[in-house]
Homo-oligomer: A and B are copies of this chain.
Amino acid sequence: MYAVIMAGGSGTRFWPASRTGRPKQFLNVTGRSPLIMETCGRLASITADDHTVLILGRRHGPEVKRLFAGRPVHILLEPIGRNTAPCIGLGALYARYRGCEEAIAFLPADHFIGDEESFISALRDAASLAEKSGGLVALGIVPTKPEPGYGYIRKGKECDAGSGCTAYDVSAFVEKPDLQTAMDYVASGEFYWNAGIFVATPERILREMETHLPAFYRGLQEIEHALDGDEYETVLEEVYKRTEGFSFDYAVMEKTRSPVFVVPCDCGWSDVGSWEALYNLREEERDDQGNLSEGDVLLEGCKESFISARGERLVACLGLRNVLVVDTPDALLVADLEKSQDIRKIVNRLREKEKESVL
């Protein structure tokens, strides 16, 4: 099975560990390996390296080539970030060009999955349904709490997916709700989190592009002619330059008249959207006072704090409660752990001050 792994993000929610030049997908936030490596690793049972297509920004080419040195993965570098729709179109085009006719899994590179077995099982079901129906099949993450920060998928009637798998028609894709609405969603049992993970054949994707993004589809045809040729880079850049950015959910998923399904998946998923989310994920690594620490850390009378000391210095903490400390060689963050989603405020102020060296 082909997998298109979308690693275009340049988020700064893990500042100061993440920087413009080293976004979240390249961070070893789990303590094991960088998220992009983990994303590939958990697909190993269904996707070989030479069926893996990594799509990321041009500036991150050297880093990804270093991480995957010697492995026959396919690396496509986008000249400019244009959101998910062009990225997915390019991935589908490239996979078809390489001979793929079967369902492809499209996945963000920077998510966390706790239960890999359930996840792989859902992907297999989704692939089977996508091939049988010719439609688009999203994974629907069974929500564990009302989370206003995520998009939701509302299920419709159960569909006959065959082979014993549970799947539903999609009744609606819903943008981030307010907290009360999110609570209603979760209570109803009719909503799943939209993790941005879906499965479809390349043919289906390209037909959708032709219908909903016709200008970009013509660009894809130009790129296809240039693939493996000397002009590829130039053509790719030219097409991206004249393309607007659209999210695939908005441009295709919410508008398509093709069948769209959701396969429920209860796999301990998280988009690891903040230091606090990461702290919550790594529950097993916390000490008996609820502290999570990595590096040369000395804790005295601390509770429920998260200390990431990768600045090659001793970090001593005294009497802290619910505090986040992220030490790096050139920048230090100390924050209320529960306010870690506000790091963008810090990053915005650093931009205003033109502190490029730490961005």
Contacts and interface: CB of A to CB of B under 8 A. Distances in A.
Given A334-B325, A334-B334, A342 B314 contact: no
A353 B329 CA distance: 24
Interface string A314-356: 1111111101010101111111101110110110011001010
Nearest to A15: B316
Given A300-B349, A301-B342, A349-B298, A335 B317 contact: yes
B314 A355 contact: yes
A91 interface: no
A339 B318 contact: yes
Nearest to A318: B335
Contacts of A350: 298, 314, 316
Contacts of A59: none
B332 A316 contact: yes
Nearest to A325: B334
28 contacts: A16-B316, A300-B346, A301-B342, A301-B345, A307-B334, A309-B332, A313-B331, A313-B332, A314-B330, A314-B331, A314-B350, A316-B331, A317-B333, A317-B334, A317-B335, A318-B335, A318-B339, A318-B340, A318-B343, A318-B345, A319-B338, A320-B323, A320-B334, A321-B336, A323-B323, A323-B334, A327-B332, A332-B332
Interface of A: 16, 298, 300-301, 307, 309, 311, 313-321, 323, 325, 327, 329-336, 338-340, 342-343, 345-346, 349-350, 353, 355, 358
